Structure 1
Amino acid sequence: MMAGTADAARGAALLVVDVQKAIDDPSWGVRNNPGAEVAMAALLALWRREGWPVWHVRHDSVDPASTYRPDGPGHGFKPQAAPLAGEPVVAKSTNSAFIGTGLADALRARGIDRLVVFGVITNNSVEATVRMAGNLGFATFLVEDACFTFARRDWAGRMRSADEVHAMSLANLDGEYCTVLRSADLLAAHT
């Protein structure tokens, strides 16, 4: 990472994607980045201390079998990433936080053109949201160790570890849609 990259995120809006209790359901399987919630909490603390904007995205699944359905026990935010009073919450029902939510217009109306993103699932809602943010012209930074995903089979049927799925998603995004960085770099640049 270039020396000024972490500093370029200074004052950007922090976009917290789908960090809800639903993601702890055992049906998801084996995840990577077991310390992701610690990184999430540290970044939220930095943004709040500095008075920078924090936006939360909540998945309201329309699938009755989803762990993210609004009437289910997993719908609430995980305590490490729960919104505080005054922090906007954007409800979505697709994988991208920008589809059908008015998020892009709301950010622009507040003069926000830079985003720091973290959340779950790396290769699903995080990737879809980051791709759209980049395509919509937002300078976007993705915090890789404050995201996680799960093992899954590839198209050929080969099981890929959560680390492999995560790494491929980051490779798909970095440079074209966003700049991938680590929480330690952001935190060190702002202490």
Structure 2
Amino acid sequence: MEKTPVEVAGNAALVVVDVQKGFEDAFWGRRNNPDAERNIAALIDVWQQSGRPVVFVRHDSPAQSRSPLRVGYEGNDFKDVVEERRGKGAGPELLVRKSVNSAFYGEPDLDGWLKGAGVRQIVIAGIQTNMCNETTARMGGNLGYDVLFPLDAMHTFDLAGPFGWSATADELTRATAVSLHGGRFARVVSTEEVVAAAR
């Protein structure tokens, strides 16, 4: 398949999903892609320098839950790589709070904010690849956005499923990439490609 060059619109929004301290908890198991945070930082930096909009998404699990992302627990806080960059950009910034997988089902309304700003392209990075990132990408595609999915700017964890099946974090990442790209929900790309196109 011929590779299409990556183009980043002048007002493309970077959607940074759930980069929270709770994902460092042993609760989740073994993760993949140790370079995820470095690549997320690179994307935020180029977005902020160029004045493009950045959306920071935070997962607020119910306070009474056992989730490391629960409200009122330190795991709900953004990791330093994100927190130290919030509010530093030249362009517009939005904080979306959610309690489900899709950033489009949060407060305030992400779709309304993006469309109000005339944004038609979004770039998704963050945690977890096959959970909130994939769900947000699928919804974004369904809503008509051109979705870029830099696979090396995210990570996930090994997971057990039905029938005694399980999949490693890398296997889940590949499955997400094939499903999104092959199903035309999003274009799976690299951080390097997106950063080069955004500069």
Name the stretch that deviates more: 180-189 or 119-128. Answer: 180-189
Structure 1 residue ranges (4+ consecutive) displaced by more than 4 angstroms after TM superposition: none
Partners of 1:37 and 1:8 lie apart in 2 by: 21
Report the number of matched residues.
Answer: 190
Give the CA deviation at 1:43: 0.7
Aligned twin of 1:67: 68
Is the Cα contact below 8 Å between 1:15 and 1:55 reproduced in 2? yes
Is the Cα contact below 8 Å between 2:13 and 2:123 reproduced in 1? yes
Is the Cα contact below 8 Å between 1:19 and 1:81 reproduced in 2? yes
TM-score, normalised on structure 1?
Answer: 0.93
Uncovered stretches (5+) of structure 2, i.e. residues with no partner:
none
Partners of 1:140 and 1:151 lie apart in 2 by: 25
TM-score, normalised on structure 2?
Answer: 0.89
Answering whether residue 164 of structure 2 is matched by residue 157 of structure 1, we say yes
Letter in 2 for 1:115: I
Is the Cα contact below 8 Å between 1:9 and 1:116 reproduced in 2? no
Aligned twin of 2:125: 118
Aligned-residue Cα RMSD (Å) equals 1.7
Letter in 2 for 1:136: L
Partners of 1:190 and 1:70 lie apart in 2 by: 34
Is the Cα contact below 8 Å between 2:8 and 2:198 reproduced in 1? no
Give the CA deviation at 1:156: 2.9
Aligned twin of 2:150: 143
Aligned twin of 1:57: 57
Uncovered stretches (5+) of structure 1, i.e. residues with no partner:
none
Aligned twin of 2:42: 42
- 1:79-119 CA-to-partner distances (Å, cap 9, x unmatched) read 11225226210000111111243110111011111100011
Is the Cα contact below 8 Å between 1:9 and 1:141 reproduced in 2? no
- 1:55-101 CA-to-partner distances (Å, cap 9, x unmatched) read 11110112611111111110110111225226210000111111243
